[in-house]
Chains A and B, each alone.
Chain A
Amino acid sequence: MWDYSEKVKDHFFSPRNAKAVEQANATGDVGSISCGDALRLTLKVNPDNDTIEQAGFQTFGCGSAIASSSALTEMVIGKTLDQALALTNQDIADYLDGLPPEKMHCSVMGMEALHAAIADYRGEVFEDDHEEGDLICKCFAIDDVMIKKVVSQNKLSTLEDVIHYTKAGGACAACHEKIEWVLEECVADYDSNAVAEPAESPASIVERIHRIEAVLEEVRPQLQADGGDVKLSDVEDDMVFLSLTGACSGCGLSGATLAMIEQKLSEALGEPITVYPVGAAPASTPLQVVGGAS
């Protein structure tokens, strides 16, 4: 049986606002009957100040779907539409003292019903970007659609890559076999697509440096956000020498950062690249090779 919080049980056994609001001026119908969830949210919005005065829900779904719907109505009553739109599905889950990972989609459904209802009120078309596949990693609630997207965008090929890029499989490891199956499918896909691509001629050194700088530009904002930076020091054949500066130097995760950059450089240059860290300004220890694939 699911480990539902007391709050979830309370909202399931005593749901709030479980009704259609009379004279509602906003309705949001969302859900997926194949997944066993469907929700109609009705709102009465005061047109003078765009405030939600009443909210009601009708839900077909499991315990957490009903509890999430009930929580949603409690959370939005009294809010302006803009305040309500700022709510996330995590807010719904937090309000309920958490949901099991497999049940997080119930909170997503609540949020989407709200967006649909507000779009309805404003006369807009509700665009849903909802995608849901088979749940692969239960620890981090990551499904196959997500893994496939990341794998094909980044041309990943190993389980380690997937863990590194998506976190899927990073905790209990029970899903590693399933991740490898997803990888097999993706690799088969891009193998069959790859045939048509013409072989590229080797890039000139200037072109190579341009591509390397472009990759560094791409990752720089992330590093800067953590108070660090990266600088290209030298390039020799398949070896790229980088210096990590600021908060990056000495950071326990710099190895992971370099591995990530190495992966991206290999993709950008279309050849296996090994990244070597170069010590920052004060000449210290000799260069150490970070376990890269050469």
Chain B
Amino acid sequence: MNPAKCCSGAKTCEPAYLDNNATTQVDSKVVETMLPFLTEHYGNPSSIHKFGDPVGKAIEHARTQVQRLMGAEHPSEVIFTSCATEATSTAILSAVEAFPERKEIITSVVEHPATLQLCEQLQRKGYTIHWIAVDNKGRIDMDAYAAALSDRVAIVSLMWANNETGTIFPIRGMAEMARKHGILFHTDAVQVAGKVPIQVAGSGIDLLSLSGHKFHAPKGIGALYLRRGAKFRPLLRGGHQERGRRAGTENASGIVALGMAAELAIDAMQRDSARIAMMRDRLEHGLLARVPNSFVTGDPSQRVPNTSNIAFEYVEGESILLMLNQLNVAASSGSACTSGSLEPSHVMRAMDIPYTAAHGAIRFSLSRYTTDDMIDRVLAELPGIVERLRMISPYWDPEQNAPREEVFEPAFG
């Protein structure tokens, strides 16, 4: 295994960034829009003088842009936050405080840590958490969900699409079911915002979180949708900003950027979704055809258009990523070793993916900046990387170039 040369066999040496579910490139139009709010428009929007005025107006304009992306009825239903983690925490803790007599929460086992760890913390404090399971394709157990709904539940919090596999939950139907029981419904829409149309108005969704940097806004800005009339308690107190629902001086440049990114996303969804899905499918089919013992995780029939998660059996994800990185290709993995947690991704485990495959699951996530050339690079390089690593894997028989027939069972586990 020689040190990998950059771009062997590929046309260019441009980086192939295929980790857009982690974060995205900021659109240059977004940067252009936000810059004046870091320079000449430095006023506090709460001030009465002419320095504050344009900032306040720009924030309200951004609010209508985000409202349109969410498909909300009123601009005032949009609350700007520092990130989606804050939005999600605000939603769940608000419900807990607004309905103190309700001591149960419904969520799923495949949520983002922002939800998972907050619910674990509430569990420690005595709340009953209904952890709804998923099947081996990452589809939620609807029977268990229906059975958990009751007037003891303060809030349902479920992700719209999974960050690792892109699998979409039937959020609209689930929100309707919660509404019939008078339960607040929150969805973490971080992985759908800017990828598929949302339209919260008229749905049973009461609260929705999104994050700017997942759709070409900068990091440090998110938003919470709060349906008008839904009972609410703020997380941050001490200011009238955001109608007293989120105290703290506004991140004006970030908010303006989020607004512009939302506006661009509405157009881009129309224009680019089909192209992104085609590239994703070409990558996926190409890899499955070129690499034996590999399979797609999650539910390909219910999936956001930009995500593909492929498990390569008998190799470990971090090793694949390190070798891809040498070739200027960026992707990510649910492998234990990339996180330091020593356990493979909770999403892979929830879907009952065998350990020998879960550790080798690689997520490719595309964006409107992804090119066919990038896909070609991965198709050219990855099969060789997997093969090199399999050749030194104790689970692989290098002579047969196939999984070892006798079972490899190491001591201790």
Interface residue ranges, A against B (CB under 8 Å): 1, 12-15, 18-19, 29-40, 57-66, 100, 102-103, 105, 112, 116, 126, 128, 130, 132, 134-135, 138, 181
Contact = CB atoms under 8 A, between A and B. Distances in A.
A38 to B, nearest CB: 5
A62 B411 contact: no
Contact of A66 (B335, B355, B392): B392
Contacts of B317: 62
23 contacts: A1-B325, A13-B1, A14-B2, A29-B408, A29-B409, A31-B410, A31-B412, A33-B359, A36-B337, A36-B342, A38-B395, A38-B408, A40-B394, A40-B408, A60-B356, A60-B393, A61-B319, A61-B337, A62-B316, A62-B335, A112-B412, A116-B411, A134-B343
Interface residues of B, number: 40
A63 B322 contact: yes
Contact of B4 (A13, A138, A181): A13
Contacts of B338: 62
Pairs A-B, 9 closest by C-beta atoms = A62-B337, A62-B318, A102-B340, A40-B394, A31-B410, A58-B394, A36-B359, A29-B410, A18-B392
Contact of B355 (A15, A33, A112): A33
Contact of A60 (B124, B326, B394): B394
A247 to B, nearest CB: 40
Contacts of B315: 60
B113 to A, nearest CB: 14
B392 A58 contact: yes
Interface of B: 1-4, 124, 314-319, 322-323, 325-326, 335-338, 340-344, 355-356, 359, 391-396, 398, 408-413
B340 A34 contact: no
Nearest to A9: B322
A280 B58 CA distance: 75
Given A13-B326, A32-B410, A32-B413, A38 B394 contact: yes
Nearest to A41: B394
Contact of B335 (A34, A36, A138, A181): A36
A266 to B, nearest CB: 29
A115 to B, nearest CB: 10
B319 A36 contact: no
B394 to A, nearest CB: 4
B342 A135 contact: yes
A34 B221 CA distance: 36
A112 B323 CA distance: 27
A289 B269 CA distance: 72
A57, A63, A64, A112: residue with the most chain B Cβ atoms closer than 10 Å: A63
Contacts of A105: 342
Contact of B342 (A14, A39, A100, A132): A132
Given A36-B355, A59-B392, A66-B319, 12 more contacts: A29-B394, A31-B412, A35-B336, A38-B394, A38-B395, A40-B394, A40-B408, A58-B392, A60-B395, A62-B317, A62-B338, A138-B340
Contacts of B393: 58-60
Residue with the greatest number of chain B CB neighbours at <10 A, chosen from A15, A59, A62, A126: A62
Contacts of B318: 62-63
Contact of B411 (A13, A19, A29, A134): A29
B285 to A, nearest CB: 27
B1 A18 contact: yes
A54 to B, nearest CB: 16
Contacts of B412: 30-32, 112, 128, 130
